[in-house]
């Protein structure tokens, strides 16, 4: 069994299920040396480059079934929809037809059909159509929004649901039908055991359609967070926000995902119900009661930590700007003189410290990994606090608490330092 996308969200769950069922699984990955798990074998593959069937043929030696679970929700660098969803999979499928592979299962997406408009759906559809036309037994599964622990979609939805106030596009009336990753995995395993007619497209959805708004409200209730407060954001305003968000690294919101949400994402649950032998779990069952505290905490930290990071950055930036002249320079020199800094050293220390503050603030906003930065900020605050405590101890008794405020600042920076180690 060759599995592509084994390190992805759906792929990881499928790989676990295959290993538990006793299958010999060969994982095609870009980093076979780093993704090692003794239960699996590995071959090197790169969907940004492997667009020729000849490249795939040696990897299919001894393989009787192939599952393609590779997919991206946003384009990034060389990872384009055309390469990842279409050209590389089509090369793999063509090689499967030539090498005598018994079965190919393609993990596509609900909405990759004749009404597809987004580049995401169109690229999936072209690969689906190509596979269905080959002389190889194929099954095309089309999951709806897939929810599961550690999934990017689950992280987005639980974060939105945990916000004290959330703006939803068009009031959140879009129709969706989320399905749990455990049900998707079980359906894939059932299809491998009893494949339907070749080329059949199988929708994997939850038990019934719901609105985006109701879905988030249900997740909020499951996390034990009380009544939701949603605002209806006009679609033109949300489209503008999506254009801005798509330029931010790591953002899952862009014009493509918003367009897919607007279109809706529903289908009959009959197929997955037959495969599972039961009704797929509803969104009310997505978060078990025992997991609710951990899910709630993780969801809240997803927006609380960035808010804390931005507030710390603003403290440094505003402090730097104020020190460059908004606060009377003569009074700044007078304070420096009281700690023993006078003459030519005074402007060097004043403007040097102001520049350092600006650098700290801008780096806090822009750098992805900030371990050294947090340590540097802690060291500077401790140094400032020690000097002022020695030379200007009255600031400890100042009614505005300029030195006392360093204590929560240090605690906040330390919190970010510890959280980034995880």
Higher per-residue confidence, 262 vs 277: 277
The answer for residues whose C-beta is within 8 angstroms of residue 28's C-beta and 6 or more apart is 2, 3, 4, 6, 42, 43, 44, 45, 59
Structure tokens at 238: 């949300």
Model confidence band, residue 250 (pLDDT cutoffs 50, 70, 90): low
pLDDT given at position 249: 63
pLDDT given at position 312: 97
The answer, yes or no, to whether residue 73 has pLDDT greater than 90, is no
pLDDT given at position 277: 97
pLDDT given at position 381: 97
pLDDT given at position 83: 96
Q: Of the spans 36-40, 235-239, 394-398, which averages the highest pLDDT?
A: 394-398
Length of the chain in terms of residues written? 422
Q: How far apart are CA 225 and CA 220, in angstroms?
A: 5
Model confidence band, residue 35 (pLDDT cutoffs 50, 70, 90): low
Q: Which residue from 45, 43, 119, 135 is spatially nearest to 85, judged by alpha carbons?
A: 119
pLDDT given at position 55: 95
**Other CB atoms within 10 A of residue 393 CB:** 10
pTM score > 0.85 for this model? yes
pLDDT given at position 37: 79
**Other CB atoms within 10 A of residue 118 CB:** 20
Q: What is the overall mean pLDDT for the chain?
A: 92
Model confidence band, residue 170 (pLDDT cutoffs 50, 70, 90): confident
pLDDT given at position 233: 86
Higher per-residue confidence, 256 vs 322: 322
Provide the residue ranges of all domains of the chain, joining segments of one domain with +: 2-287, 303-419
**Other CB atoms within 10 A of residue 248 CB:** 10
According to CATH, the superfamily of the domain at 2-287 is NAD(P)-binding Rossmann-like Domain (3.40.50.720)
Q: How far apart are CA 266 and CA 409, in angstroms?
A: 48
The answer, yes or no, to whether residue 400 has pLDDT greater than 80, is yes
Lowest mean pLDDT among 28-37, 43-52, 122-131, 245-254: 245-254
Q: State what percent of residues in the chain have pLDDT above 70.
A: 98
How does pLDDT run across 292-317, given as a tens digit for each residue? 999 999 999 999 999 999 999 999 99
How does pLDDT run across 127-143, given as a tens digit for each residue? 999 999 999 999 999 99
The answer, yes or no, to whether residue 406 has pLDDT greater than 70, is yes
Per the CB < 8 A criterion, the answer to whether 204 and 144 are in contact is: yes
- Average pLDDT of the segment spanning 240-254: 73
Q: Of the spans 36-40, 249-253, 294-298, 369-373, which averages the highest pLDDT?
A: 294-298
- Average pLDDT of the segment spanning 356-377: 93
Model confidence band, residue 245 (pLDDT cutoffs 50, 70, 90): confident
Lowest mean pLDDT among 27-31, 57-61, 137-141, 376-380: 27-31
Alpha-carbon distance values, 248 to 37, 131, 311 (Å): 33, 34, 19
The answer, yes or no, to whether residue 2 has pLDDT greater than 80, is yes
Identify each DSSP E strand in 82-199 by its residue range: 103-107, 137-143, 146-147, 166-169, 175-176, 179-180
Inter-residue long-range contacts of 54-61, CB under 8 Å, 24+ positions, other chains counted: 54/95, 55/91, 55/95, 56/91, 56/92, 56/94, 56/95, 56/96, 57/95, 57/98, 57/99, 59/2, 59/26, 59/28, 60/2, 60/95, 60/96, 60/99, 60/101, 61/99
Lowest mean pLDDT among 60-69, 137-146, 247-256: 247-256
Lowest mean pLDDT among 168-172, 207-211, 291-295, 409-413: 168-172
- Average pLDDT of the segment spanning 239-243: 82
Q: Which residue from 126, 154, 7 is spatially nearest to 69, judged by alpha carbons?
A: 7
- Segment (H or E) for 200: strand 200-204
pLDDT given at position 204: 97
Angle between helices 345-366 and 292-321 (to 10 degrees): 150
The answer, yes or no, to whether residue 82 has pLDDT greater than 90, is yes
DSSP lists the bridge partners of residue 76 as 79
Ramachandran region, residue 171 (left: φ > 0; alpha: ψ -120 to 50; beta: rest): left
DSSP lists the bridge partners of residue 231 as 167
pLDDT given at position 59: 94
The answer, yes or no, to whether residue 248 has pLDDT greater than 80, is no
Structure tokens at 318: 């505003």
The answer, yes or no, to whether residue 150 has pLDDT greater than 70, is yes
């Amino acid at each position: 069994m060759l599995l592509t996308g084994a390190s992805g969200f759906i792929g990881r769950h499928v790989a676990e299920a295959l290993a538990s069922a006793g299958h010999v699984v060969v994982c095609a990955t870009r980093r076979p040396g780093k993704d090692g798990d003794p239960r699996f074998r590995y071959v090197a593959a790169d969907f940004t480059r492997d667009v020729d069937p000849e490249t795939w043929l040696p990897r299919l030696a001894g393989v009787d079934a192939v599952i393609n679970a590779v997919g991206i929700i946003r384009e990034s660098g060389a990872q384009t929809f055309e390469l990842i969803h279409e050209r590389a999979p089509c090369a793999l499928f063509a090689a499967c037809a030539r090498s005598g592979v018994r079965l190919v299962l393609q993990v596509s997406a609900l909405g990759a059909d004749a009404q597809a408009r987004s580049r995401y759906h169109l690229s999936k559809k072209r690969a689906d159509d190509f596979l269905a036309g080959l002389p190889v037994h194929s099954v095309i599964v089309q999951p709806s929004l897939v929810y599961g622990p550690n999934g990017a979609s689950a992280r987005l939805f639980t974060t939105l649901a945990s916000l004290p106030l959330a703006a939803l596009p068009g009031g959140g009336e879009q129709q969706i039908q989320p399905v749990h990753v455990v049900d998707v995995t079980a359906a894939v395993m059932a299809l491998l055991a009893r494949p339907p007619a070749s080329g059949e497209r199988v929708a994997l959805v939850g038990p019934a359609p719901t609105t985006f708004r109701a879905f988030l409200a249900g997740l909020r209730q499951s996390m034990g967070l009380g009544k939701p407060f949603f605002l209806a954001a006009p679609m033109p305003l949300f489209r503008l926000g999506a254009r801005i968000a798509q330029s931010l690294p790591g953002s899952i919101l862009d014009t493509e995902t918003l367009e897919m949400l607007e279109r809706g994402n529903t289908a009959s649950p009959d197929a997955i119900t037959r495969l599972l032998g039961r009704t797929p779990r509803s969104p009310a069952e997505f978060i078990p009661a025992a997991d609710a505290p951990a899910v709630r905490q993780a969801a809240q930290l997803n927006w609380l930590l960035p808010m804390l990071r931005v507030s710390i950055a603003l403290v440094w930036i505003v402090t730097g700007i104020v020190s460059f002249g908004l606060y009377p320079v003569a009074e700044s020199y007078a304070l420096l003189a009281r700690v023993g800094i006078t003459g030519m050293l005074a402007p060097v220390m004043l403007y040097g410290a102001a520049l350092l503050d600006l650098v700290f603030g801008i780096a806090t906003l822009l750098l992805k990994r900030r371990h050294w930065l947090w340590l540097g900020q802690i060291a500077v605050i401790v140094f400032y606090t020690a000097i002022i405590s020695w030379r200007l101890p009255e600031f400890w008794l100042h009614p505005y608490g300029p030195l006392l405020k360093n204590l929560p600042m240090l605690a906040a920076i330390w919190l970010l330092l510890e959280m980034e180690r995880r």
